[in-house]
Structure 1
Amino acid sequence: MIEIKHHGATSGVTGSCHELSLHVGSDEKRERFSSDPDLDTTPESEGDRHGILIDCGLFQGQDEGREASAADLTIDFPIDHIRALVVTHVHIDHVGRIPYLLAAGFEGPIICSEPSAVMLPEILEDALKIGFTRDRSLIERVLGLIRERVVPVPYGQWHSVFEEGECSLSVRLQRAGHILGSAYVECEARVGDLEERIVFSGDLGAPHSPLLPEPKSPERADRLVIESTYGDRDHEDRETRRDRLRAVLENALADGGTVLVPAFSIGRTQELLYEIEGIIAEASLKVGSDGKRERFSSDPLFDWEHLEIVVDSPLAANFTQIYRDLKPFWDAEAQELVRSGRHPLSFDQLTVIDSHEDHLNAVEYLAKSHRPCVVLAGSGMCAGGRVVNYLKVMLGDDRNDVLFVGYQAAGTPGRDILTFGPRGGWVELDGERYDIRARVHQVGGYSAHAGQSDLLRFVEGIPEAPGEIRIVHGDTEAKKVLGKLLSERLSSRILIPAL
């Protein structure tokens, strides 16, 4: 029997953790389970069992009615049979519970792409400091253990996880286009004469995103587990979202306000820097009489060359440097810019704030000054981090703008600002209410997630439709809408699992 279980991301968009297990049991029980996919528990005494986990992420916001606190981080499912953890990418909602998995006794390898192998210890160091312990020696021991366990696997190459008697399992990672190092996972599973190709999408990226090649559909998937974050809607195209981003920046230049971008440290921060550098470069050029572009000084109100871009997040700054170091994994467009002498992640107007003291000084200075500025500060859903200090002093000033470029989960301050800000409402930050007079924008095209059409294209690009498609990692409506569309287009059995 080959079965799939879900230990997260079934009633929301966080806590991703899925299990693929291979079990040698009686033909009768194998037939019973294969005909009823809702039965996903197996008696532990029923033969030999081997499995892997796909991700082990943190719950955030009101996902499953849970808060991202230590009480919700326990590993509450059996792991004795788990032979390996496969990481699709290093966002915290996919890797945040790894320290707790290790504490629960997991001793297997952590399989991931080569870029993810570089970034995983970095993101977990930050997670450990915030939610686990401040004990530096303990953090170093945990990180050391993680580095020992990490197994980098090149894209497109099969990697054998185990081969035990009648059971064998190999995995192959393919580019997912979500963030640097992201992958979807192809699993080649065998139990006796039963063989299946099972694909876990992880988080898929949108086509034409800056820096990363877009994902290509797998050549085969007997069963598919697919995310549905934006299963009910599409993003703006790249040109439209770029125009909207430029318009928001022009407002900042015109009225001397700050554009505050709640930043996800990995992915969107780097994509935004890439796009902002391009906007500044284009705005600072004009076409001369000979048809060539030349540098010029624009109207002082729109002096792009003096617009300061601030990254106030040590983690985001760290990952921006890692992105620079991993240029071989960039797409062709980005690499061509580098060859032409441009530096899309390291340009003159970019300032990085590291120390907490400098952060507090920047908050105070920008709150009082009328100097236009763009600040990218963590965290992306405004549930903590340095962005909260900026929000407290800037939300009440209509010169300022708050720009959301990523998904805002239910129960987070980001969702409240997005919902109530345009109505002149308020948001609660650290137990106090703050009126929202700043303009609030959302440019969905900069989400690192695929839109509805992208998800459909990914599934329909599989040469033969999967026999079963499981829809996870989405709000209820998003999953329902995507499920309905897939059921209308394909003969696949569509399942929406629940814990």
Structure 2
Amino acid sequence: MHQSSTRWPVIRHHGAVDGVTGSAHELCLDHQHSLLVDCGLFQGRDQGPGGANADDLTIDFPVAQIKALVITHVHIDHVGRIPWLLAAGFKGPILCSQPSAKLLPIVLEDAFKLGFSRRPDDIDRYLRVIKRRLVPLPYDQWHTALDAGHGQIRIRLRRAGHILGSAYVECDVKGPPGRHRVVFSGDLGAPHAPMLPAPKPPHGCDTLVIESTYGDRNHEDRKERQQRLQRVLARALQDRGTVLIPAFSIGRTQELLYELEDILHRNQKSRVHNALPWKELPVILDSPLASRFTRAYRELRPYWEQEALKRITKGRKPLGFKQLLTVDDHDAHLRMVRHLVDSARPAVVISGSGMCTGGRIVNYLKAMLHDPRHNVLFVGYQGKGTPGRQIQREGQGGTVTLDGETHAIQAGVDNLGGYSAHADQRGLVRFVRSIRKRPRIIRIVHGSTHAKRQLRNALTQQYRRRDLTSEIEIPI
């Protein structure tokens, strides 16, 4: 399975090798036939083996042999380069889960506006192409994705528990050398997610390509994260400031809304502090994209887990509660920033982007970081080279560069690791250990160098304890 091997199938990695963004992995049946699993945007200082990076997203690998694109989930670091893939000449179908098929056009419309054109006619034409190419697949059913006559690749999507619609991909490869089962993990979810069931591992595979975002650490206890969120908010709101939560528009935002609704519901007769009842605390969702995803999430209720559905039957609105204010218009956004800066009105603001690389959160940060009344609360991974990582690392008293300007950080900075939608090291090891027909080869991608090495060490120790061996590789 090494890239230099002449034995098929071969796996080539075009992204998420140096870092956690730009996921793109090619499963080659032969020289003329392959599948591409994900085609994501690079962020921060991450780059692909061919040199593509956040400033140059041009596809830097051949596409003529790629017969289909398989999407594990719709986060931008897994799908954001699809416009560039189409521009490079890719003509095949786009295979994904049924929920992802509803969410993907929303993501790709945004990516197209950022990278190509904001003209309505261009956007409409592009979205028609995307929708024609989409092939929504039900979970847990085999589908022939590539048939070359002398060989074929069938795929099966399994729930990954990361965000709504997320999947890991089982690939059954049938070629001249025989059969080979490959699993691409995509991004695996953690247990106790509020809206999604935890992933169940496959029965077996020959080669496993697994993410390692949190391969070097374990999350705080997720069962207690809602209580921790409530405590952080109560402390941060004591001085009548704003709590800024940078969050990805899809997945993280909806989880936060779900748990904030529960905090407000349980504390409707209590106070944050003497001057502020919980029932008067505004939660501001300032992200048009996140608002669209939240509406789509509501429409995809059949894919929610049972606890979430029970709340609906009791008349509650987990993603549309009374204290939730949505800000869509840009002028309204600017007015909201000014209002929160000038007033002493406590509030919680959720806005993108999740790593503070752009979007409306940057305007809030520029306006509020200098004021110790305010707080920034990180609930997700901050990639190297991103402003989010810089704020996280520097903390109160440090500085951060936003749009080329240096800003002092006087606001409080908090982190809640238990809100990651990724499996931690324990969860990743458990996923691998629970594969009954163990993989002969494990390839570790989608993580920092340290995270990949630590996950490799943890997996090696697991196999040694059981007197088993597997070839565990870190592609470069």
What TM bracket, shorter-length normalisation? over 0.9
The match for 2:123 is: 139
Pairwise CA RMSD: 1.5
The match for 1:5 is: 12
Indicate yes or no: 2:462 matched with 1:489: yes
Instruction: Give a deviation string over 1:239-261, Cα, whole Å, max 9, x none.
Output: 33222211121124422110000
Indicate yes or no: 2:402 matched with 1:435: no
- Tell me by how many angstroms 1:192 deviates: 2.4
In structure 2, what is the Cα distance between the partners aligned to 1:118 and 1:160? 22
> 1:150/1:298 Cα in 2 relative to 1: closer, same or farther (>3 Å)?
closer
Indicate yes or no: 2:36 matched with 1:53: yes
In structure 2, what is the Cα distance between the partners aligned to 1:199 and 1:407? 24
Matches within 5 A, 1:337-376: 337-376=311-350
Indicate yes or no: 2:455 matched with 1:475: no
The match for 2:26 is: 19
In structure 2, what is the Cα distance between the partners aligned to 1:475 and 1:353? 35
The match for 2:85 is: 101
Q: Which runs of 5 or more structure 1 residues have no equivalent in the other structure?
A: 24-43, 286-295
TM-score, length basis structure 2? 0.95
Instruction: Give a deviation string over 1:390-433, Cα, whole Å, max 9, x none.
Output: 001111111111001111111111000000014x1111111211
In structure 1, what is the Cα distance between the partners aligned to 2:78 and 2:201? 21
Matches within 5 A, 1:63-462: 63-64=46-47, 69=54, 72-284=56-268, 300-422=274-396, 424-462=397-435
**SS at 1:246 equivalent:** helix
Question: Does the aligned pair in 2 maintain the 1:487–1:493 contact within 8 Å?
Answer: no
Identity %: 57
- Tell me by how many angstroms 1:281 deviates: 1.0
In structure 1, what is the Cα distance between the partners aligned to 2:357 and 2:271? 40
Question: Does the aligned pair in 2 maintain the 1:252–1:373 contact within 8 Å?
Answer: no
Instruction: Give a deviation string over 1:448-490, Cα, whole Å, max 9, x none.
Output: 1111101011111100210000000000000000001111222
**SS at 2:15 equivalent:** coil
In structure 2, what is the Cα distance between the partners aligned to 1:252 and 1:304? 14
**SS at 2:275 equivalent:** helix
**SS at 2:140 equivalent:** coil
TM-score, length basis structure 1? 0.90
Instruction: Give a deviation string over 1:99-139, Cα, whole Å, max 9, x none.
Output: 11111111110000001000111001111111222222222
Which stretch shifts more, 333-342 or 60-69?
60-69
In structure 2, what is the Cα distance between the partners aligned to 1:483 and 1:8? 19
Aligned letter for 1:484? N
Instruction: Give a deviation string over 1:247-290, Cα, whole Å, max 9, x none.
Output: 121124422110000121000000000011111111125xxxxx
The match for 1:293 is: none
Aligned letter for 2:421? A
The match for 2:4 is: none
Question: Does the aligned pair in 1 maintain the 2:52–2:60 contact within 8 Å?
Answer: no
- Tell me by how many angstroms 1:238 deviates: 2.1
Instruction: Give a deviation string over 1:198-241, Cα, whole Å, max 9, x none.
Output: 00000001111110111001111111000000000011122332
**SS at 2:33 equivalent:** strand
> 1:298/1:96 Cα in 2 relative to 1: closer, same or farther (>3 Å)?
closer
**SS at 2:385 equivalent:** coil
Question: Does the aligned pair in 2 maintain the 1:250–1:302 contact within 8 Å?
Answer: no
> 1:15/1:298 Cα in 2 relative to 1: closer, same or farther (>3 Å)?
closer
- Tell me by how many angstroms 1:193 deviates: 4.8
Instruction: Give a deviation string over 1:347-375, Cα, whole Å, max 9, x none.
Output: 01000000000000000000011111000
Instruction: Give a deviation string over 1:162-221, Cα, whole Å, max 9, x none.
Output: 222220110000000111000000000011251011000000011111101110011111
> 1:249/1:67 Cα in 2 relative to 1: closer, same or farther (>3 Å)?
farther
Instruction: Give a deviation string over 1:33-53, Cα, whole Å, max 9, x none.
Output: xxxxxxxxxxx5xxxx31100
**SS at 2:244 equivalent:** strand
Q: Which runs of 5 or more structure 2 residues have no equivalent in the other structure?
A: 1-7, 464-468
> 1:396/1:197 Cα in 2 relative to 1: closer, same or farther (>3 Å)?
same
In structure 1, what is the Cα distance between the partners aligned to 2:275 and 2:200? 44
In structure 1, what is the Cα distance between the partners aligned to 2:272 and 2:340? 23
> 1:493/1:68 Cα in 2 relative to 1: closer, same or farther (>3 Å)?
closer
In structure 2, what is the Cα distance between the partners aligned to 1:432 and 1:76? 32
